[in-house]
Structure 1
Amino acid sequence: MRKSLLRMTLRQLQVFQAVCSSQSYSRAAEDMALTQPAVSQQIRQLEEQVGAPLFEYVGKKLYLTEAAVSLLAASEDIFNRLDSLDMQLSSLQGSLRGELRLAVVSSIQYLTPHLLAAFRQRYPEVVFRLEVTRRSQVIQRLQDNRDDVVLMALVPEDRALEFFPFLNNPIIAVAHPGHPLAGQAELALTALEQQVVLEREQGSGTRKAVDEFFQQKRVHLQQLMQMGSGESMVHGALAGLGVALVSEHAAAPYLRSGELVRLDFSELPLYRSWCAVHARGKRLSPVAEAFLAFLREERVQVRTLAERFVAG
């Protein structure tokens, strides 16, 4: 190893990461509560130790050099290992402390905070960083190793992933109380062929599950209206736009209030499972290990938490 690399400090790496994140020396200075000359000095020292320039300007925009990309990956690994060390030391002292980085698909965003609150009752010194996004972006985040754990349905089979199901995700049909199908009993799925059906965007786990289900049942929907999220589908049904096929957890508050009704299709709900997912071979932090153990071992508590999102 080059002796010059041993002279790098954690403070220098923090400043470097701030510049990479903001792509600006002045914004990095604000974020770090430093002066801009102090930031410039730290970066110059790092460049001397690395032996290569870290940033270059093209026009007025700051870009990372190849050396900076390599240094950024190494610095993230260093800080991740320090976070893990902090958690391990806390565990040895009889407590668990650290940050859980969690990404979830939008269909489970309503339940997730309640899961985290229950987990934090057991480990009060744990904090969370939660990202709610689409299935395609969650898959990309898994590939980029940006999170400790991901919660999603329909885990892709062509990726090197470890996962386990921890909760049923019932998909139901809902509509405005004034909808023509409201109040009818034991409806056949073919009744939807003459109705406007609200659907999720391509790449959504719910969309994939529903499309595969109707294909298996040989149901051909004629009037489709695409929505960008589960929440927009629920509100589309509230507005009377059509029938929405959504997670029961997302629609439950409106079903209880009577603003929506659950349509009585004999072949619904469509059951899928929410799964806890991480990259195969990933070095999990003690906090991530504890959270996965919570989901595995506390199934009764998890189901109880989920019941508040079921209309009954």
Structure 2
Amino acid sequence: MRKSLMRMTFRQLQIFRAVCESRSYSRAAEEMALTQPAVSLQIRQLEELIDQPLFDYVAKKLYLTPAAEVLLKASEDVFGRLESLDMQLSDLQGSLQGQLNLAVESSAKYLVPHLFAAFRAQHPEVSLQLVVVNHAMAVKRLSASRDDLLIMSQVPSELALDFFPFFNNPIVAVAPPTHPLCSVERLRLSDLSDFPLLVREPGSGTRKACEEYCHQKRAHFAQLIEIGSSESQVEAVIAGLGLALLPRHAVRLELAAGLLRELPVEELPLLRSWCVVHNRGKRLSPVAQAFLDFIRVERLQISALGERFAAAPTAA
């Protein structure tokens, strides 16, 4: 091993990781509570230690060099091992401690806090770092192994992944209560196609699943209105801008309050499963392994949670 690498410090690696994450010296300085010259100095010292440049500036944008990519991967391994050591030491003391780094697709963000709360009741000293992403971003994070675990519906087949389906995610058609289709007792999916359909951005997993399903059922909507978030999508339906295909749990409060109505479409709900996913062969931290074991073992708790989130609304 090069002797110069032994002079590398954890603080330098933390600063380096902050620059990689933000792609900015100034934003990394704010995050690390340092001045920008201090960040520049630490990066320059790192470059001297590895004898290669770490960043390139092109059109005022910061890009990682091949050396930076390698160093970033090594730093993730180093800090991952330290985190695992911390958790193992805590485990030896009789309690599980540490942080679960969890990424979830946006359609699961309503469920996961309740799921983690049930897990934390067993392990009160575990904290959570939660990142909410769309499907396309989730796949990128899996490719880069950014998180301990990830919860998603459509598991990409092109990656080497281990996954465990644990929770049903029914997608239903919703409309404002004054919509003319609300007076119809029985509908086909194609009956909805004359009305505007509110959809998420192209990277959304729910949109992808619904588009594939509608194509399969030959329901072709003449007008699509793209909405950037599920919350805005719900409000747009309430406002009367169109219909939407949404996870039932995501609109459970609006259905219960009478702000929305679930349409009686014969081909719905579209049933998918949420899965907890990680890269095959990935060394899981004790906290991540405990959370995965909890999902696999606590079927009764999760089923009870599922009844609250996925139950069809009672007719008024």
Q: Given the two structures, how large is their TM-score scaled by the length of structure 1? A: 0.89
- In structure 1, how many angstroms separate the alpha carbons of the residues matched to 2:36 and 2:229? 42
Asked if the contact 1:119–1:294 (Cα under 8 Å) also holds between the matched residues in 2, the reply is yes
Q: 1:196 to 1:129 in 2, by over 3 A?
A: same
Alignment match, 2:83: 83
Q: 1:192 to 1:59 in 2, by over 3 A?
A: closer
**What is the deviation of 1:233?**
2.3
Q: 1:162 to 1:48 in 2, by over 3 A?
A: same
Asked if the contact 2:20–2:64 (Cα under 8 Å) also holds between the matched residues in 1, the reply is yes
- In structure 2, how many angstroms separate the alpha carbons of the residues matched to 1:24 and 1:196? 42
Asked if the contact 1:149–1:288 (Cα under 8 Å) also holds between the matched residues in 2, the reply is yes
Asked if the contact 2:167–2:273 (Cα under 8 Å) also holds between the matched residues in 1, the reply is yes
**1:55-107 alpha-carbon deviations (Å, 9 max, x no partner):** 56678766554433332322222111111111122222221111111111111
Q: 1:257 to 1:125 in 2, by over 3 A?
A: same
Alignment match, 2:233: 233
- In structure 2, how many angstroms separate the alpha carbons of the residues matched to 1:269 and 1:17? 44
**1:35-71 alpha-carbon deviations (Å, 9 max, x no partner):** 6665555445434432334456678766554433332
Gaps of 5+ in 2: none
**What is the deviation of 1:185?**
1.2
Alignment match, 1:134: 134
Q: Secondary structure at the match of 1:222?
A: coil
Alignment match, 2:210: 210
Alignment match, 2:182: 182
Q: Tell me which amino acid in the other structure corresponds to 1:116.
A: F
**1:260-287 alpha-carbon deviations (Å, 9 max, x no partner):** 1111122221111111111111111111
Asked if the contact 2:168–2:306 (Cα under 8 Å) also holds between the matched residues in 1, the reply is no
Asked if the contact 1:194–1:222 (Cα under 8 Å) also holds between the matched residues in 2, the reply is yes
Q: Secondary structure at the match of 2:181?
A: coil
Does 2:275 match 1:275? Answer: yes
**1:163-188 alpha-carbon deviations (Å, 9 max, x no partner):** 11111101111111110011321222
**What is the deviation of 1:240?**
1.0
**What is the deviation of 1:28?**
4.6
Q: 1:195 to 1:68 in 2, by over 3 A?
A: closer
Q: Tell me which amino acid in the other structure corresponds to 1:249.
A: H
**What is the deviation of 1:139?**
0.7
Alignment match, 1:164: 164
Asked if the contact 1:12–1:43 (Cα under 8 Å) also holds between the matched residues in 2, the reply is yes
- In structure 2, how many angstroms separate the alpha carbons of the residues matched to 1:222 and 1:12? 55
Alignment match, 2:260: 260
Q: Tell me which amino acid in the other structure corresponds to 1:252.
A: R
With 5-14 and 275-284 compared, the bigger mean Cα shift is at: 5-14
Q: 1:219 to 1:84 in 2, by over 3 A?
A: same
With 59-68 and 280-289 compared, the bigger mean Cα shift is at: 59-68
Asked if the contact 1:183–1:263 (Cα under 8 Å) also holds between the matched residues in 2, the reply is no
Q: 1:74 to 1:198 in 2, by over 3 A?
A: same
Asked if the contact 1:141–1:147 (Cα under 8 Å) also holds between the matched residues in 2, the reply is yes
Alignment match, 1:173: 173
Q: Tell me which amino acid in the other structure corresponds to 1:233.
A: Q
Q: 1:264 to 1:57 in 2, by over 3 A?
A: closer
Alignment match, 2:93: 93
Gaps of 5+ in 1: none
Asked if the contact 1:173–1:245 (Cα under 8 Å) also holds between the matched residues in 2, the reply is yes
RMSD in angstroms over aligned alpha carbons? 2.5
Alignment match, 1:293: 293
